[in-house]
């Protein structure tokens, strides 16, 4: 293999715990397990790590990075806690990436972890009725407006986002959204790390309990627990590492983070599209690749409606052609651009903080040719995408070493 460019940054270790519910471990235990496994995968220990970044959403306090250090090794290195909604894990990866790019570290560890338990789909307490109406908050509301002035809960928000796309594009409706869930549940049957591994027919998915039309319960990601970790290294340092580490190294050709630019309706309906498009365009430009070069994509399918939007946002299909894209079978593992061969958030699961590292685990594993039954043959280039409402979008484009 050619000597890695000294200013390049590589992934040399990845791991994730199975995503499921854990009653015998907390989020930091799961983050620690994943971190140890990722370090072992890289042939390293905590003593080799120059910088640590870690994140969780529900367990953001009392500080995942230090909690994980206490569990697996307190070496006194700089440790950063990150919180960026569902892009938290990807933000941890990017903090490590930036530390290496800045020359302050040559080996870094990024960890995402989460424990959601059976938090429930909506994750919200019951509104408390007030004894007396007093305007409060930024809208001067006299009561909880959830359900009174529309919905701001995730299933409804992403349902509306999908319906906005359906409003302006032909051939997109309930059936197209449901087909995405058929695909991801089917893909998950090949992934031993997935929370659910059960196939469903289109009819079963469409007839399942309606949560927020057009998303039925089988079109919404589950809550769950898990940890995922990645070890990053500078090209300069990688060049000094054993040939086996170099052979399995995966290059980060683009690491991009965006937030919401202003759009007129964005304060009423979260805009998951513009920042994703911006991130995709920047990532393709930086990596010097196009959507046609991608052998697999792990994208943020928190709801089936979301995945359909991102076909268009990530330029995987013709503008406006996301309905036709799923109808054609293109994003199936046997199709032109396999999407969410892990089972995606819909079936692999979505422990919030872990997700943005877990998708880098998935893409890296395929690029190394180590994905077992679900391996995409001869995968050379892959994309990992996450979006957290607020919003934050992270995209990483990864490439196999040219050995």
Partner 1 sequence: MTQAQVKTIPVVDYLCLDGGEPKLTALVCDACGAHYFDHREACASCSSSGPFTRADLPRTGRVGAFTIVHRAANGVRTPFVSAVVYLDDGTAVRANVVNCAPSPEQVHLHMRVRLVTFELGTDSEGTCAIGFGFEPA
Question: Which stretches of the chain bind partner 1, using CB under 8 A?
Answer: 121-122, 124-127, 129-133, 135, 138-143, 145-153, 155-156, 159-161, 163-164, 166-167, 174, 209-215, 262, 264-265, 267-269
Q: Which is nearer to partner 1, 169 or 189 (CB)?
A: 169
Q: Give, to the nearest 10 degrees, the angle between helix 304-313 and helix 274-287.
A: 50
Instruction: Supply the minimum distance, in Å, between the C-beta of residue 384 and partner 1.
Output: 28
Retrieve residue 107's tokens: 């080996």
What is the Cα–Cα distance from 223 to 151, expressed in whole angstroms?
20
Q: Which is nearer to partner 1, 142 or 285 (CB)?
A: 142
Pairing outcome for strands 9-16 and 225-234: antiparallel
Q: Which is nearer to partner 1, 10 or 174 (CB)?
A: 174
Instruction: Supply the minimum distance, in Å, between the C-beta of residue 227 and partner 1.
Output: 29
Q: Which is nearer to partner 1, 151 or 274 (CB)?
A: 151
Q: Which is nearer to partner 1, 238 or 275 (CB)?
A: 275
Instruction: Supply the minimum distance, in Å, between the C-beta of residue 275 and partner 1.
Output: 14
Instruction: Supply the minimum distance, in Å, between the C-beta of residue 215 and partner 1.
Output: 8
Residue 243 φ then ψ, to 5°:
-60, -35
CB environment 148-180: b (16+ within 10 A), e (fewer): eeebebbbbbbbbbbbbbbeebeebebebbbbb
The residue among 25, 70, 40, 27 whose CA lies nearest residue 52 is: 70
CB environment 39-60: b (16+ within 10 A), e (fewer): bebbebebebbbbbbbbbbbbb
Instruction: Supply the minimum distance, in Å, between the C-beta of residue 375 and partner 1.
Output: 37
Distances (CA, A) of 51 to 46, 398, 400: 10, 21, 24
Instruction: Supply the minimum distance, in Å, between the C-beta of residue 90 and partner 1.
Output: 24
Q: In 10 A of CB 126, how many CB atoms?
A: 6
Q: Which is nearer to partner 1, 156 or 323 (CB)?
A: 156
Instruction: Supply the minimum distance, in Å, between the C-beta of residue 182 and partner 1.
Output: 20
Give just the sign of the alpha carbon dihedral 190, 194, 198, 199. negative
Q: Which is nearer to partner 1, 161 or 363 (CB)?
A: 161
Q: Which is nearer to partner 1, 173 or 290 (CB)?
A: 173
Q: Which is nearer to partner 1, 128 or 402 (CB)?
A: 128
Instruction: Supply the minimum distance, in Å, between the C-beta of residue 156 and partner 1.
Output: 5
392-400 sheet: strands from edge to edge: 79-82, 51-55, 107-115, 225-234, 9-16, 250-259, 392-400, 381-388, 296-298
Instruction: Supply the minimum distance, in Å, between the C-beta of residue 321 and partner 1.
Output: 18
Q: In 10 A of CB 20, how many CB atoms?
A: 15
Cβ proximity of 384 and 112 under 8 Å? no
Helix (H) or strand (E) segment spanning residue 233:
strand 225-234
């Amino acid at each position: 293999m050619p000597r890695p460019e000294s200013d390049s940054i590589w992934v040399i270790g990845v791991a994730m715990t199975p995503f499921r519910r854990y009653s015998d471990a907390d989020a930091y235990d799961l983050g620690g397990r994943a971190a140890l496994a990722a370090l072992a995968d890289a042939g390293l220990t905590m003593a080799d790590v120059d910088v640590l970044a870690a994140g969780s959403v529900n367990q953001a306090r009392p500080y995942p990075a230090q909690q994980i250090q206490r569990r697996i090794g307190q070496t006194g290195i700089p440790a950063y806690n990150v919180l960026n909604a569902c892009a938290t894990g990807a933000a941890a990866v990017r903090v490590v990436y930036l530390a290496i790019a800045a020359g302050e570290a040559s080996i870094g560890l990024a960890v995402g972890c989460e424990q959601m338990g059976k938090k429930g789909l909506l994750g919200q307490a019951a509104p408390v009725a007030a004894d007396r109406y007093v305007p409060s908050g930024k809208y001067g509301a006299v009561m909880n407006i959830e359900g009174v002035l529309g919905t701001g809960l995730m299933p409804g928000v992403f349902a509306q986002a999908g319906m906005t796309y359906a409003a302006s594009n032909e051939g997109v409706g309930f059936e197209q959204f449901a087909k995405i869930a058929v695909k991801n549940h089917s893909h998950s049957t090949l992934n031993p790390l997935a929370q659910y591994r059960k196939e469903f027919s289109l009819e079963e998915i469409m007839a399942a309990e309606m949560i927020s039309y057009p998303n039925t319960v089988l079109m919404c990601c589950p809550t769950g627990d898990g940890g995922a970790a990645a070890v990053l290294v500078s090209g300069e340092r990688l060049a000094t590492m054993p040939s086996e580490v170099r052979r399995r190294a995966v290059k980060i050709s683009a690491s991009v983070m965006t937030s919401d630019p202003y759009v007129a309706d964005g304060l009423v309906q979260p805009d998951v599209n513009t920042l994703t498009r911006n991130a995709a365009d920047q990532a393709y430009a930086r990596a010097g690749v196009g959507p046609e070069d991608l052998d697999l994509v792990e994208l943020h399918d928190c709801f089936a409606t979301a995945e359909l939007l991102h076909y268009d946002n990530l330029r995987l299909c013709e503008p406006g052609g996301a309905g036709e894209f799923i109808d054609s079978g293109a994003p199936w593992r046997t199709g032109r651009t396999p999407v969410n061969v892990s089972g995606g958030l819909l079936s692999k699961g979505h422990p919030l903080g872990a997700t943005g590292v877990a998708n880098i685990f998935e893409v890296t594993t395929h690029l190394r040719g180590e994905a077992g039954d679900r391996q995409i043959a001869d995968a050379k280039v892959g994309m990992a995408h996450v979006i957290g409402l607020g919003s934050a979008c992270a995209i990483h484009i990864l490439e196999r070493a040219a050995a």
